[in-house]
A and B are shown apart, each in its own frame.
Chain A
């Protein structure tokens, strides 16, 4: 396979159609995208543009109707959930809007869980260190209910980093947080990319959040309609306003 080892994510003509044969709804209409290792990319678009579907298809949480997904040179398997899960948990970390920490486990146990599930050696010291890096070194034994939203999301970031994945996906990671907690979470993601060579793809609707990324990919009606390198919040907001207007006009 002539695959670039530096390529963390590659989408080739990915389509996703929901609904019935009589009433199909196209969420992704042929998306092709290549992202290099060590980059921080934001995916933006008006609501209903397919950005969450894009993320879920790329992360193996949803199955594309057509097209292929390649993670760090390896094609995403097309078999059952177990096969996809085994592929995913070795290569992909995920940060959700609603954190999705297990309520019965402590912060440290939540971070070690992906390693346990994958049957890998559990390096508690390293996991504790990861929690220290996200500023929760003194909260290792707290349960999610005892942590604030921002703290829970930082645990989720440590959990995503624990398996040293090729790629971390973040779906509106700041959507449930206040602005201060949101800034901390975004700074952590940016640090993971800049200092540790992680690759992060983040879906957001917040131009200020997108400004933390190296590049922004704009999505509308299930298609990529533009890119912006070294984004500023103002530039992103302006582009989004145009997109929203264009979608509104097209809908008339």
Chain B
């Protein structure tokens, strides 16, 4: 099975691209922040060390959550997409344990390779971050930048561990399916209780972070970010886990107008939303994460900027900190955006066979594109709705704790800008990938084998 794993890797490099990209980017960002710890450990004055460690642990801590979640969910998706291949192996006599070993070994190899390749990239990004710290005069220019064991260790360990956990979870589910069921490509109607529990626990954890922000950090200034920043990330991750249920809920509302207005494409969209809520749920996750985290952290930062706008501190230094914070938040948002595109492209490309079947039944390429577009629109609307809800877990507590107001004093443009970005990215990634998938002739896309 290990040999088979190596063979598969060599011949189907494309299939692992999504996993590789997620692990590589995640490891790069983690290493960049963790390298600040290396720098702090190399004997600097205590004030500088404190700045570096605070930066690495607060911003890096959020990153850790997002990267771990992103890598895990990408892996789950990647393994799920191989249900048919796994079923084929099962039907020729592979035991569930053998299949499991194969998938886990493959995932581990890809993750290790990506994390190792990420080391130079992490070094570069870390250096950039450090230069920014020096330029904003938070760290004296005399301190040398270091990239060492802590950075490499944390980067590799978190991403590889995340990948392994994702692969194990996905494999357990696939292995439980009988060979025949998996070949038939049917999916469970309900979510497992573990997933539901984990989802609600994350939501509760996020809300708890929000409460702590108000109770413990009111009037403590910027310290409130430590708990408030995590709140929307946790709630987003929790809602992302519950995404199949969210899709079913939205479908109940949107099915009628879609079926009435969308013609044959709308009809297929509704059928997919109803009966493929798990598969589409995988695509919904990154939309919720992107919206929730971006809106949450950007608004929080804006509130902080306005609140800190007090006399006494020179405006230029303040502007510098603002820039630095926005760079950090921007990095998170960018990572979430890349994950969004990554996941949607992978999920749509996987449906080549289904598109082929529709085309053979008489769907024109335009009808397939309209169907994918309608689905993406539902995903975007659902993702923006629940992502915005999740962002409130950060925004409300931070605003209360920092300014004693309820409505954040932040640019009104942030929310619409992120929402539009989420919608545009979701539509473009889905329809673009569908367009590419449609280039394969329908007969070929369906394949002659089961």
In the assembled complex, the CB of B361 is this many whole angstroms from the nearest CB of chain A, namely 5
Check A117–B360 contact: CB distance below 8 A.
no
In the assembled complex, the CB of A145 is this many whole angstroms from the nearest CB of chain B, namely 4
CA A81 to CA B441, docked complex, whole Å: 9
Instruction: Determine the main DSSP class of B at the interface with A.
Output: helix
Q: Please provide the chain A residues from 90 to 114 with a CB less than 8 Å away from any CB of chain B in the complex.
A: 94, 96-98, 100-105, 109, 113-114
Contact partners of B181 in chain A: CB under 8 A: 145
Contact partners of B367 in chain A: CB under 8 A: 117
Which listed segment binds A: B85-93, B396-404, B442-450? B442-450
Q: Is B45 close to A, CB under 8 A?
A: no
Q: Please provide the chain B residues from 172 to 229 with a CB less than 8 Å away from any CB of chain A in the complex.
A: 181, 184-186
In the assembled complex, the CB of B258 is this many whole angstroms from the nearest CB of chain A, namely 14
Q: Is A85 close to B, CB under 8 A?
A: yes
Check B450–A98 contact: CB distance below 8 A.
yes
Check B362–A85 contact: CB distance below 8 A.
yes
Check A145–B185 contact: CB distance below 8 A.
yes
Which listed segment binds A: B14-22, B271-279, B377-385? B271-279
Check B264–A102 contact: CB distance below 8 A.
no
CA A206 to CA B376, docked complex, whole Å: 45
Contact partners of B263 in chain A: CB under 8 A: 116, 119
Contact partners of B264 in chain A: CB under 8 A: 113, 116-117, 119
Q: Is B325 close to A, CB under 8 A?
A: no
Contact partners of B360 in chain A: CB under 8 A: 61, 94, 96, 100
Q: Is B357 close to A, CB under 8 A?
A: yes
Check A62–B441 contact: CB distance below 8 A.
yes
Most buried by B among A109, A116, A176: A116
Q: Is A159 close to B, CB under 8 A?
A: yes
Q: Is B354 close to A, CB under 8 A?
A: yes
Q: Is A144 close to B, CB under 8 A?
A: yes
Check A82–B366 contact: CB distance below 8 A.
yes
CA A62 to CA B445, docked complex, whole Å: 13
Q: Is B358 close to A, CB under 8 A?
A: yes
Q: Is B363 close to A, CB under 8 A?
A: yes
Out of A81, A117, A163, which one reaches B365, CB within 8 Å?
A81
Check A144–B363 contact: CB distance below 8 A.
no
Q: Is B364 close to A, CB under 8 A?
A: yes
Check A88–B362 contact: CB distance below 8 A.
yes
CA A248 to CA B271, docked complex, whole Å: 50
Q: Which residue of A lies closest to B362 (CB)?
A: A89
Check A82–B364 contact: CB distance below 8 A.
yes
Q: A20-62, CB under 8 A of B: which get 1 and which 0? A: 0000000000000000000000000000000000001000011
Given contacts A119-B264, A159-B361, contact A103 B185 (CB under 8 A): yes
CA A98 to CA B443, docked complex, whole Å: 11
Count class of interface residues, chain A: 20 to 34
Contact partners of A103 in chain B: CB under 8 A: 184-186, 354
Q: Please provide the chain B residues from 253 to 300 with a CB less than 8 Å away from any CB of chain A in the complex.
A: 263-264, 267-268, 271-272, 274-276
Q: Is A118 close to B, CB under 8 A?
A: yes
Q: Which residue of B lies closest to A102 (CB)?
A: B357
Contact partners of B276 in chain A: CB under 8 A: 104
Out of A89, A98, A105, A145, which one reaches B448, CB within 8 Å?
A98
CA A96 to CA B364, docked complex, whole Å: 19
Q: Is B352 close to A, CB under 8 A?
A: no
Check A104–B272 contact: CB distance below 8 A.
yes
CA A109 to CA B359, docked complex, whole Å: 16
CA A130 to CA B338, docked complex, whole Å: 48
Contact partners of A113 in chain B: CB under 8 A: 264, 361-362
CA A211 to CA B162, docked complex, whole Å: 59
Contact partners of A183 in chain B: CB under 8 A: none
Contact partners of B366 in chain A: CB under 8 A: 82
Contact partners of A239 in chain B: CB under 8 A: none
CA A143 to CA B267, docked complex, whole Å: 16
Q: Which residue of B lies closest to A92 (CB)?
A: B362
Q: Please provide the chain B residues from 366 to 399 with a CB less than 8 Å away from any CB of chain A in the complex.
A: 366-367
Given contacts A62-B441, A100-B357, A119-B264, contact A114 B362 (CB under 8 A): yes
Check A61–B271 contact: CB distance below 8 A.
no
Check B443–A117 contact: CB distance below 8 A.
no
Contact partners of B275 in chain A: CB under 8 A: 104, 143
CA A144 to CA B183, docked complex, whole Å: 11
- Seen from chain A, the residues whose Cβ lies within 8 Å of a Cβ on chain B are 56, 61-62, 81-82, 85-86, 88-89, 94, 96-98, 100-105, 109, 113-114, 116-119, 143-145, 159, 163, 176
